[in-house]
Amino acid sequence: MALLDVIDLVVEFPTRRGTLRALDGISFSIEPGEILGVVGESGAGKSLTGSAIIGLLEPPGRVASGQIQFEGSRIDRLSPAQMRPIRGRQIGAIFQDPLTTLDPLMSVGRQLVETMQTHLKLSDRDARARAVQWLEEVGIPAAAERVEAYPHQFSGGMRQRVVIALALCAEPKLVIADEPTTALDVSIQSQIISLLKRLTESHGTSVMLVTHDMGVIAETCDRVAVMYAGRIAEIGPVADVVRTPSHPYTEGLMGSIPSLEARVERLRQIDGAMPRLGAIPQGCAFNPRCGRTIARCFTHRPDLMPAGATQAACWLVGGGAA
Amino acid sequence: MFAFILARLLQSVPVLLAVAFISYGMFAFVGDPVTAMLGQDFTAAERQAMIHQLGLDQPFYLQYLHFLWNVLHGDFGLSYRLARPVGELIAERLPATMELAVSAAVLSLLIGVPLGVFTGINRNSALARGLMTLSLIGVSLPTFLIGILLILVFAVLLGWLPSFGRGDVVHFSHWSTGLLTSSGRRALILPAITLGMFQMTLILRLVRSEMLEVMRSDHIKFARARGLSEHAIHFHHALSNTLIPVITIVGLQLGMLIAFSIVTETVFQWPGMGLLLVQSIGVADIPVMSTYLLLIAVVFVVINLVVDLLYFAVDPRLRSQGGR
């Protein structure tokens, strides 16, 4: 049984000028211990998927239909009180900007202790000892002394390590890492990613890694989901998606990655921009930017279809050309 | 920390000198205390003698230096009106004003902060909307009107509470308090509500808007994502992050409460400094007015110092920059 099952998830934002569909029928699953990467342009719905899973959609956003199942039971219809023991304990979260995700007025040790004591039966002393352990584990030097330190006394990279410790300290089975390195210095990014990978591996934690960075995906993830305009364009094992992309959008994404081996004058880019939520064209949402459209692309919207080792939402792979 | 306090106190010296100069100078040129003191019938000679006796025939700067010199020796002069040492008069009145101001401040904090948190968290509930509308009334109604309305309802119509005075007080050497007698406590209720009403609604609205701001922040979202309890999120993480602006405003408002309890004290005939000041202004009693202003300046200086020290207590970011 999969750890997390997202089934036909639809997230909508009611606005004054009608309802906007930000996620339109997303389905995927995450196995225990697996790292699923989620990529896509800004506004494709990556972070929103994460927020929906952890039940922290910003109002007025809401899950309009579909299901989110964690270990086989639905968690998308739970009350805040029922959801609270799941957050942190079963599903942890890491956010983008470590400079703003920590409470500036509370020492990192107390934030760790508070989080662990919320979910685990721990005495003050044990919780403190564990807090120091966690800081050591995420690579904070002199953890025993720095447990009393406040967030502003840490650098950005160190703060993200603290955030990771906080997300993992109640030993959740799944961590949603929402662009955990975007706000960090390039030189720190790979350290943080490898730390995350190492820790989740040793604790057997599954990860949903939301990122812009295909390089990170290729190095870190087991499978990857490519999102476009609120839908999954392609999903499958990383090696297959990276080497033999089936969806023209994925191809475009791969083409935009600079390579160290092949010298190219100019990186390929995908022309145009992703449509706004209110103006998604009929048929395939990617059709205005796609170089290989057929008639059907403008009339019918493709669902995910098997395409070799991956699944892609494209008529070209699903026999639509026939 | 000690150096910081010392620096602050030194900075306040020129402030106090300036306040002393302005207050003394301003009052020296308004009104005519001599005429007020002599009454209806007096000869020119009597008038001259009085002027000489009060030192009012000396040049202004000499009068000021004289005033300053005496103040530094703890002598605030004689009240023209009551012919008693000003220091004594103020010391008599100070406890009544402090009791009123502190009660009003405590009342406004005890009600304002929780209501601010409540309306900040449940901003769409009917109760919160109702409270916000009511708070508009508190912010916009003038103090004297609130006082008169309260007197009308609770003293005149219902007859529950006294309409004026301080009730029975208990004396401890230089201090007096009405908190230990039931009539003193009953007499305190209406004036304290009147004086604290504006502050309470101000604090309510301030805490609410700060809460709304903080609740949107990333660290609150992260606290939610860690499954912390609502109580911990609201009070440990959100409220503490609203404290800096709240402390600033509450500190200044406490100064305001002490300085401008004049209106409330007049409405309720509360025997405090404000009432003394109003009576002194009527007869241009310069020593009382100058000393009062000087005292208020000291109060503000002290409160600002306390506010700065509270910043250090609340915010670790400030502690690491300076302070030690």
Residue A94 sits in a domain of what CATH number?
A: 3.40.50.300
What is the DSSP code string of B176-242?
EESTTSHHHHHHHHHHHHHHHHHHHHHHHHHHHHHHHHHHTSHHHHHHHHTT--HHIIIIIIIIHHH
Answer yes or no: is A239 within a domain: no
B231: pLDDT strictly greater than 60: yes
User: What pLDDT digit, counting tens, does each position of B74-117 carry?
Assistant: 888 778 788 788 888 888 888 888 888 888 889 999 999 999 99
Domain assignment of residue A16, given as a range: 4-229
Q: Do B241 and A92 touch (CB under 8 A)?
A: no
In a domain, A290, yes or no: no
Backbone dihedral region for residue A282 (phi beyond 0: left; psi -120 to 50: alpha; all else: beta): beta
Q: What single string gives the DSSP state of each residue in B101-124?
A: HHHHHHHHHHHHHHHHHHHHHSTT
Instruction: Extract the tokens encoding A18.
Output: 């009608």
- CA–chain centroid gap for A319, Å, is 31
Quick one: closest CA in B to A85, which residue? Answer: B227
State the Cα–Cα distance between residues A96 and B220, nearest whole angstrom.
14
Q: How far is A37 from chain B (nearest CA, A)?
A: 20
- Spell out which residues of chain A touch residue B218, defining contact as CB-CB under 8 Å: 95, 97, 100-101
Residue B95's pLDDT is 86
B154-181 pLDDT, tens per residue? 877 887 888 777 777 777 777 777 777 7
Structure tokens at B199: 């502050």
Are B292 and B273 contacting, i.e. CB atoms less than 8 angstroms apart? yes
CB interface of B with A, residues 236-295, below 8 Å: 236-237, 240-241
Q: Mention the CATH class of domain B87-282.
A: mainly alpha
Out of B33-42, B44-53, B55-64, B144-153, give the one with best mean pLDDT: B144-153
- Is pLDDT at B225 greater than 50 in this prediction? yes
pLDDT of residue B86: 85
Tokens coding B179: 């908190």
Burial class of residue B93 in the structure, from the number of CB atoms within 10 Å of its CB (0-12 exposed, 13-18 middle, 19+ buried): buried
DSSP secondary structure code for residue B157 in this structure:
I
Q: Does B122 contact chain A (CB < 8 Å)? A: no
Residue B141 has pLDDT above 90, yes or no: no
Is A68 part of any domain?
A: yes
- The answer to whether the beta carbons of residues A249 and A312 sit under 8 Å apart is no
Q: Which residues of A touch B226 (CB under 8 A)?
A: 87-88, 92-93, 115, 118, 166-167, 170
Most confident of A190-204, B1-15, B185-199: A190-204
Q: Report CB contact under 8 Å: B232, A100.
A: no
List the domain boundaries for chain B: 2-72, 87-282
In chain B, the residue whose alpha carbon lies closest to the alpha carbon of A110 is: B236
φ and ψ of A307, to 5 deg: -140, 85
The DSSP call for residue A6 is E
- The answer to whether residue A106 neighbours chain B at the CB level (below 8 Å) is yes
Whole-number pLDDT of residue B193:
87
What CA–CA distances, in Å, run from B281 to B65, B274, B288?
22, 11, 9
Give pLDDT, residue B320: 67
Task: For chain A of 322 residues, list the mean pLDDT of each consecutive stretch of 10.
Answer: 90 87 91 92 88 89 91 89 90 90 91 92 91 91 90 90 92 92 84 90 92 86 91 91 88 77 71 80 86 85 86 78 42
Q: Cβ-count burial of B43 within 10 angstroms (0-12 exposed, 13-18 middle, 19+ buried)? A: exposed
Residue A154 tokens read as 């840490």
Shortest Cα–Cα distance, A100 to chain B (Å): 6
pLDDT tens by residue, B278-319: 888 887 787 888 888 888 888 888 888 888 888 888 888 877
Q: Are B103 and B196 in contact (CB under 8 A)?
A: yes
What mean pLDDT value characterizes chain B? 83
How far apart (Å, rounded) are the C-alpha atoms in residues A248 and A314? Answer: 8
SS3 B40: coil
Assigned domain for A314 exists: no
Task: For residues A156 and B29, give the distance between their C-alpha atoms in angstroms, rounded to a whole number.
Answer: 62
Helix or strand holding residue A35 (H, E): strand A35-39
ipTM: 0.87
Give Cα A10 distance to the centre of its chain.
17
Would you say residue A210 lies in a domain?
A: yes
Task: Using the predicted structure, report yes or no on whether residue B244 has a pLDDT greater than 90.
Answer: no
Given the structure tokens 């050309």, which residue do they identify? A321
Indicate whether A156 belongs to any domain.
yes
